[in-house]
Every structure is written in structure tokens, then in C-alpha cells.
């Protein structure tokens, strides 16, 4: 399994990176991205530390670990600048906290994030068809999430992505150990999203394509 959206205590997760990664390995993960929330105040603190620990854990736990970020609540017109800063510091997986219905995210976050050269738009909420088509054009994956609240629009996102030919990935947005992927979460999330079980393999392949390009 590949999960490209997780959080540690470097933002609002409850686990050290070492524990999160080992628990993921124990659950059968082959790859994980550590993507803590960042903005202009924290990116230069978080990224170097996640990079350092990712290398250590990958070498010792025999699981692919990718240092990433989830750019969160950055003013939409500044997202591209923030993406550049994170990439320059060495972040491999770039996610933006999309316009979930569970929170009051700044309008136009989805649009500016898709234009900014990111890998994944997390929990995009009521994303417009125009932005889904833009995601396809810019090779940005849209997230289907197992996380409660954010998952309310999974089916809407999935159906629009299928109609437009945009790529989907399945992530957990894990904050606690019980959030990590397992068979039941996968099956329930696919059913909720109107996707059959075979589509999990397609989403995992999309995730693999992302991580393969980062090695």
C-alpha cells in the first residue's frame, strides 16, 4: 500500500515520524509520505527535519519514506511561491489543503493550487468541473480520502474525475495510528465514493507514478 498524505507531531498529528512509519510498515505499507501542514511560518523548520528522519527510517525499516508537505491556508495567490520554497528545501511530495466542506478554506485555493505545480490536491470539496479539467491538464492528482468530514464529497470528486479523465489517489490524511489504511477502510471508502474495488489498484498506480518520479 502507498499513502501519500499523513501527519506527525511536527504539525497536528500525534505520533513521532519514527512511530508513524513503523506502524505503517506493520500495516503492510510499501511507501508513505510525511506531509505535515506548513505555511510561511513553519516550512523552513519542518522540511529539513522530515528529510533527515525520512532517510534514517527508510534505511532502517525497509519502507519507502518521502518527505513532503501539505501547504495549508496559504493565501491562494501565494501558493505557487510557497510551492517553490518547499521544493527548493527538498520536499518531494507537495500537497495543498483543498477546499474541503469540513473547514472554511479560502476560496480559489483549489484553482491556484492546481496551477502551482503540486502533486496532489487534498480533499478538494465541491471542486468545479473546470478545475478538474485543469487538474487533468496539469497532471495533478485529486484525493479520495478516508478521513471523516473531509470524505463527505468523495463521490462528487470521484465522479467528476472519472467524467473528465483526471487522476485520483487514495490517502488517509492520518493524524493518529488508527487512521492508517487497512482492508476495511479501503472497502468502505471505495463504496462511499461510488468506485469498485478494482479502482483501488488504479489509484495505487497513480500514487506509485508520483513516488517513482521522486526517486
Number of domains in the chain: 1
Using the predicted structure, report yes or no on whether residue 54 has a pLDDT greater than 80.
Answer: yes
pLDDT for the residue 215? 74
Of the candidates 196, 206, 35, 189, which has an alpha carbon nearest to the alpha carbon of residue 122? Answer: 35
Residues 121-138: tens digit of each pLDDT: 999 999 999 999 999 999
Spatial contact of 95 and 70, defined as CB atoms under 8 Å apart? yes
CB of 132 closer than 8 Å to CB of 153? no
Three-state SS at 44: helix
Measured CA to CA in angstroms, residue 145 lies from 48, 58, 88, 89, 107 at distances of: 27, 25, 28, 27, 20
Tens-place pLDDT, residues 5-42: 999 999 999 999 999 999 999 999 999 999 999 999 99
- Give the pLDDT confidence of 145-202 residue by residue, as tens digits: 999 999 999 999 999 999 999 999 999 999 999 999 999 999 999 999 999 989 999 9
- The answer to whether the beta carbons of residues 146 and 171 sit under 8 Å apart is yes
Residue 190 belongs to what domain range? 2-212
Q: What is the pLDDT of residues 64-119, one digit of tens each?
A: 999 999 999 999 999 999 999 999 999 999 999 999 999 999 999 999 999 999 99
The CATH number of the domain holding residue 132 is 3.20.20.140
Distance (Å, whole) CA 190 – CA 5:
17
**pLDDT mean across residues, the chain:** 97
Q: What is the pTM of this model?
A: 0.97
Amino acid at each position: 500500500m502507498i499513502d501519500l498524505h499523513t501527519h506527525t507531531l511536527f504539525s497536528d498529528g500525534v505520533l513521532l515520524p519514527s512511530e508513524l512509519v513503523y506502524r505503517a510498515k506493520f500495516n503492510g505499507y510499501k511507501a508513505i509520505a510525511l506531509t505535515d501542514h506548513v505555511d510561511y511560518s513553519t516550512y523552513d523548520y519542518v522540511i529539513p527535519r522530515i528529510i533527515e528522519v525520512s532517510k534514517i527510517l527508510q534505511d532502517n525499516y525497509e519502507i519507502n519514506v518521502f518527505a513532503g508537505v501539505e501547504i495549508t491556508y496559504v493565501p491562494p495567490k501565494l501558493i505557487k511561491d510557497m510551492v517553490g520554497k518547499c521544493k527548493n528545501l527538498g520536499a518531494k511530495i507537495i500537497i495543498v489543503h483543498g477546499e474541503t466542506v469540513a473547514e472554511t478554506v479560502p476560496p480559489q485555493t483549489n484553482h491556484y493550487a492546481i496551477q502551482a505545480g503540486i502533486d496532489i490536491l487534498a480533499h478538494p470539496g465541491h471542486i468545479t468541473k473546470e478545475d478538474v479539467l485543469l487538474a487533468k491538464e496539469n497532471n495533478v492528482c485529486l484525493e479520495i480520502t478516508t478521513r471523516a468530514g473531509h470524505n463527505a464529497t468523495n463521490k462528487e470528486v470521484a465522479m467528476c474525475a472519472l467524467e473528465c479523465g483526471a487522476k485520483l489517489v487514495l490517502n488517509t490524511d492520518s493524524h493518529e495510528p488508527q487512521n492508517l489504511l487497512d482492508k476495511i477502510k479501503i472497502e468502505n471508502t471505495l463504496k462511499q465514493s461510488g468506485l469498485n474495488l478494482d479502482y483501488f489498484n488504479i489509484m495505487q498506480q497513480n500514487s506509485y507514478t508520483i513516488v517513482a518520479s521522486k526517486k
